[in-house]
A and B are shown apart, each in its own frame.
Chain A
Amino acid sequence: MTLRSDLNIIQGWISPESQVLDLGCGQGELLAFLQQHKTCRGYGLEINPDSIVSCIEKGVSVIEHDLNDGLADFKDQSVDTVVMTQALQAVRRPDVLLEDMLRVGNEAIITFPNFGYWRTRWYLLGKGKMPMSKTLPYNWYDTPNIHMCTFADFEALCREKGLTILNRTVVDSNHQEHWSIKMWPNLLGEIAIYRVSR
């Protein structure tokens, strides 16, 4: 099984035999991979009916749950790693959810699109309109991405909450790394993958 490149980076940060909670787990690719290759255990939370069916088909334990309702059903420090890919910007209170992730898990792995990417900045500057791109394909009025932020914003939030950034990988929209992105991540990176702990 080949894993999407961003998920491949994430799985590298997850220890074998650990407990994983995947928020917005989609079709369960990451959890299925972790179960098969790293004997991890865990649950995916998802609200899309078709995705839930796909998870079940893969043998992934999936629970229908809206992330906006928080993680109150999960006990403190009950899993090793809480993963959330491309959903931080779509929840009502990203800051509250981030806290909750690190209440439930020892570590959190988070990916989100960078609103500080140079093309996004250029789009807004040049056209004077809300940016749209491959990573951000929605109109301002129908986008699920209600809390866009830049890498600088996210890192400021982590500092404010006293969280430690253990790893950060910044990639382009095809999840590839490049030396120039490493030099100027907030300008040239489109998607960031953060690993944080308290």
Chain B
Amino acid sequence: MPQQIPADSVGIVTPQVARFDEPLLLRCGKTLDQYELVYETYGQLNADKSNAVLICHALSGDHHAAGYHSMEDKKPGWWDACIGPGKVIDTNQFFVVCLNNLGGCSGSTGPISINPETGKAYASDFPVVRVWDWVNSQARLADYLGIETFAAVIGGSLGGMQALRWSIQFPERLKHCVVIASAPKLSAQNIAFNEVARSAIMKDPDFHDGYYLHHGVIPKSGLMQARMLAHLTYLSDDAMGEKFGRELKTDGIQYGFNPEFEVESYLHYQGEKFSTSFDANTYLLMTRALDYFDPAQYTDNDLSQCLSTAQCKFLVMSFTTDWRFSPERSEEIVDALVDADKDVSYARIESEKGHDAFLIPIPRYLATFGAYMKRVAKELAL
């Protein structure tokens, strides 16, 4: 719990709910007749509504990007390092919007929500949503908030894919697009990792074809394994070595198979924590959205042609030890943007933190990101 709220924090924030009754046609062909999106905002929307910034969250993220929900919170929102008064995304200048995506499990309509047709949780009946659908629903939220054009749409990892999709799907509705530690599509290896995670969940005896909530259980063990595996892919070898080395948590080796090394116990802790706070069906959905993301598939796999419709300016950033979405993957985006003659800047940030680096206040990352956001503010005369 924060003893007191830091001066550069957005402070105590309260999530809000937007309810939509206009049906949303999804990419899979199904329709969501009504749905809710839970979101938070930080800063003030200016009179001409030109200072709004949309933050898109990654796989396990949610709408709580900055600040605290109460003085009892142990940690601030997931991107508090970058959002706040005087921070990179300066809430003195920008009106920041962050929502929990459709299919999420933090308040927006998703598998744990009650299906009005059955009166029970959607569970496996919740449609498989795609990045395309998220961007559409985010645009509806923008309409609801009276925001015609975003000053910037920003995201890391899966969030970066949403930002990129925005630039193609609603080219006239954003001025800038910031894509961090992301990729234009998943590689076979990325999909394989996701499949191992999904498999762990679906093979859990408590999964019940996804209707586990109807049975009053959760596939805890499967979700835990999925998270342990995924967590590994967010860290670099160096970062793990530095954090844990070969340290034992037991008194000498035990000649057994229970966790003895610190790294084992850390992974178990992370898995355990996640398995009780996240919904397994949401996890399946999010990983599938990642797998299916490939905007260039509609333009003959020509990414530059796909991005040629974009009208915004871009900042792309990657991290040297990120092996989940390596710098080369970001450079594919940059090359396509250059090819399409778009305004793009790119920085490859030195960091030993792996994929998770985009959440960490690395000085060069903040300096580069901050310079870009100042430019955004300057161009819009904020």
Contact = CB atoms under 8 A, between A and B. Distances in A.
User: Are A and B part of the same complex?
Assistant: yes
Given A43-B338, A73-B338, A56 B343 contact: no
Given A43-B338, A63-B338, A52 B347 contact: yes
A49 B371 contact: no
B368 A53 contact: yes
A56 B345 contact: yes
B14 to A, nearest CB: 34
Contacts of B379: 59
A57 B345 contact: no
A43 B343 CA distance: 8
A74 interface: yes
Contacts of A62: 345-346
A63 B348 CA distance: 9
Contacts of A53: 367-368, 371
B347 A64 contact: yes
Nearest to B368: A53
A75 interface: yes
Contacts of A59: 375, 378-379
A61 interface: yes
B338, B345, B367, most chain A CB atoms within 10 A: B345
A56 B338 contact: no
A14 interface: no
Contacts of A55: 345
Interface in B223-266: none
Interface string B343-373: 1111110100000000000001001100110
27 contacts: A49-B347, A49-B364, A52-B345, A52-B347, A52-B368, A53-B368, A53-B371, A54-B371, A56-B315, A56-B345, A56-B368, A56-B371, A57-B374, A57-B375, A59-B379, A61-B313, A61-B343, A61-B344, A62-B345, A63-B338, A63-B344, A63-B346, A64-B347, A65-B346, A73-B331, A73-B338, A74-B338
A41 B367 CA distance: 25
Contacts of B343: 61
B305 to A, nearest CB: 13
B333 to A, nearest CB: 11
Q: Which 4 A-B pairs have the closest CB atoms?
A: A56-B371, A63-B346, A53-B371, A57-B371
Given A56-B375, A74-B338, A61 B345 contact: yes
Contacts of A61: 313, 343-345
Contacts, number: 50
Interface string A68-83: 0000011100000000
B335 interface: yes
Contact of A63 (B345, B350, B368, B378): B345
Contacts of A75: 339
Interface size class of B (residues with CB under 8 A): 20 to 34
A109 B341 CA distance: 22
A74 B344 CA distance: 14
A74 to B, nearest CB: 7
B375 to A, nearest CB: 6
B334 interface: yes
Interface in A20-62: 41, 43, 49, 52-57, 59-62
B369 to A, nearest CB: 9
B371 A63 contact: no
Interface in A120-170: none
Interface in B291-349: 313, 315, 331, 334-335, 338-339, 341, 343-348
Contacts of A43: 338, 344
Given A52-B368, A56-B371, A61-B344, 5 more contacts: A43-B344, A52-B347, A53-B368, A61-B345, A62-B345
Contacts of B344: 43, 61, 63
A41, A52, A63, most chain B CB atoms within 10 A: A63
A59 B375 CA distance: 7
Contacts of A41: 341
B334 A63 contact: yes
B127 to A, nearest CB: 39
B372 A56 contact: yes
Contacts of B331: 73
